[in-house]
């Protein structure tokens, strides 16, 4: 098997985590590392028998590097991805694609001109719970999606007032720095392009925009709400995605999710199909017709719960899954990975337009 040479840019905590995942992959080899911290890059080079480079430009000049993995802070992404593309390297980029739409558009143009590939490491596309949810919504066993609601309440304890996270020029804001994960996921679940968006925000007394909300309508009629807050203790962090379908609801819990609960009604002839899709047994409850509702009928309600015990392992495997698909798309141009370049751009554009809607104070078309 021909191995692709990886050049890792940024070896902080997350870079170290993902490098351990990449090292498990037979189709890649970590050949180069750069980081502003000399001790960190030298440590990585020693672990993976790679070359430590002082500068990004030196890493890009290494002919052994086929794919550049960029783990740097958001404000560096677009410029570093452009440099990699101009050097003829493929790019596996941590979110977001950019912090400014003009930079994202310029990057897309360079990628097309240089005929190199780029994908965002959208791990949620590859974790088991969301893989099951994708199959469930695509099956229409509980009908079509009508509404989605994402609530992400996160900690601000590690984010002091002067942290770059709060500075728009560095992070792009909460929607761009963090919300793109869920814009991408819901775009994929909707199987439709967004039509318009309305954003709102709360600004704390110290000037930090710590809570953001957006309402999105899709061209196929699906409605969605996204709420992200960084305003509470870490012990209270929680992420919940609710997907409402015509004949049921799915609720996913956890940033890297560890639980999927479904409730709905469907023909008994499809019980086995649903059970096989979920990988668990169904609970069936016969319910009488609700009193006082004209035309209401009795029926059977189906419930089920899928759980995962090791979210860290799921996270690691999702990183592997994303890079593996990306490599396959490089080797076989006809292969369509789960996260395409257009997906990467669409999620960023939606996040950017959500922030623009907040800034301008009115609805915007996608």
For the chain, the structural domain boundaries read: 4-124+315-328, 125-314+349-365
pLDDT for 293 equals 87
Tell me the C-alpha to C-alpha distance, in Å, between residue 261 and each of 131, 250, 280, 286: 14, 6, 11, 19
User: What's the pLDDT at 214?
Assistant: 98
Fold matches, 4-124+315-328 and 125-314+349-365: no
* pLDDT value at residue 107: 98
- In whole angstroms, what is the distance from residue 99 CA to residue 177 CA? 8
Q: Assess contact for 319 and 19: CB atoms under 8 A.
A: no
pLDDT tens for each residue of 131-180: 999 999 999 999 999 999 999 999 999 998 899 999 999 999 999 999 99
Q: Helix, strand or coil for residue 100?
A: coil
Q: What is the pLDDT of residue 1?
A: 65
Say what the pLDDT of residue 186 is.
98
Which parts of the chain register pLDDT below 50? none
Order of all β-strands in the sheet with 118-120: 51-53, 28-34, 4-9, 67-70, 90-93, 118-120
Helices (H), 140-179: 168-171, 174
Of 123, 151, 154, the closest CA to residue 242 belongs to: 151
Considering the chain, what is the average pLDDT of its residues? 96
Task: Tell me if residue 224 falls in helix, strand or coil.
Answer: strand
Question: Is 35 within 8 Å of 10 (Cβ atoms)?
Answer: yes
**Cα 180–chain centre separation:** 6
Question: Which superfamily, per CATH, for 125-314+349-365?
Answer: Dihydrodipicolinate Reductase; domain 2 (3.30.360.10)
CA-based radius of gyration for the chain? 22
Q: What is the CATH number of domain 4-124+315-328?
A: 3.40.50.720
């Amino acid at each position: 098997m021909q191995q692709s040479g990886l050049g890792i840019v940024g070896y902080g905590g997350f870079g170290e985590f993902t490098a351990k995942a990449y090292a498990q992959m037979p189709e890649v080899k970590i050949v180069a590392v750069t980081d502003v911290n000399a001790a960190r890059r030298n440590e990585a080079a020693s672990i993976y028998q790679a070359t430590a480079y002082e500068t990004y430009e030196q890493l890009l000049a290494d002919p052994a590097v086929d794919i550049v993995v960029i783990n740097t802070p958001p404000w560096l992404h677009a410029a570093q991805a452009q440099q990699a593309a101009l050097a003829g390297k493929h790019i596996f980029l941590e979110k977001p694609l950019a912090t400014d739409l003009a930079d994202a558009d310029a990057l897309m143009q360079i990628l097309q001109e240089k005929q190199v590939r780029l994908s965002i490491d959208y791990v949620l596309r590859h974790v088991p719970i969301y893989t099951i949810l994708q199959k469930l919504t695509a099956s229409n066993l509980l009908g079509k999606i009508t509404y989605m609601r994402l609530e992400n309440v996160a900690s601000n304890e590690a984010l002091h007032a002067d942290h770059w996270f709060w500075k728009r020029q560095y992070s792009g804001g909460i929607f761009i720095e963090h919300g793109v994960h869920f814009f991408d996921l819901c775009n994929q679940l909707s199987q439709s392009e967004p039509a318009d968006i309305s954003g709102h925000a709360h600004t704390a007394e110290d000037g930090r925009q710590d809570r953001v909300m957006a309402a999105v309508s899709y061209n196929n009629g699906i409605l969605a709400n996204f709420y992200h807050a960084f305003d509470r203790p870490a012990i209270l962090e929680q992420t919940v995605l609710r997907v409402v379908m015509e004949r049921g609801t799915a609720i996913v819990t956890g940033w890297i999710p560890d639980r999927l609960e479904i409730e709905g009604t469907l023909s008994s002839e499809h019980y086995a199909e649903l059970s096989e899709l979920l990988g668990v047994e169904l609970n069936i409850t016969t319910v009488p017709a609700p009193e006082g509702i004209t035309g209401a009928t009795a029926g059977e309600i189906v419930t089920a719960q899928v759980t995962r015990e090791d979210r860290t392992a799921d996270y690691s495997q999702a990183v592997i899954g994303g890079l593996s698909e990306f490599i396959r798309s490089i080797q076989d141009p006809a292969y369509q990975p789960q996260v395409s370049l257009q997906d990467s751009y669409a999620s960023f554009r939606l996040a950017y337009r959500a922030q623009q809607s907040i800034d301008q104070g009115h609805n915007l078309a996608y």
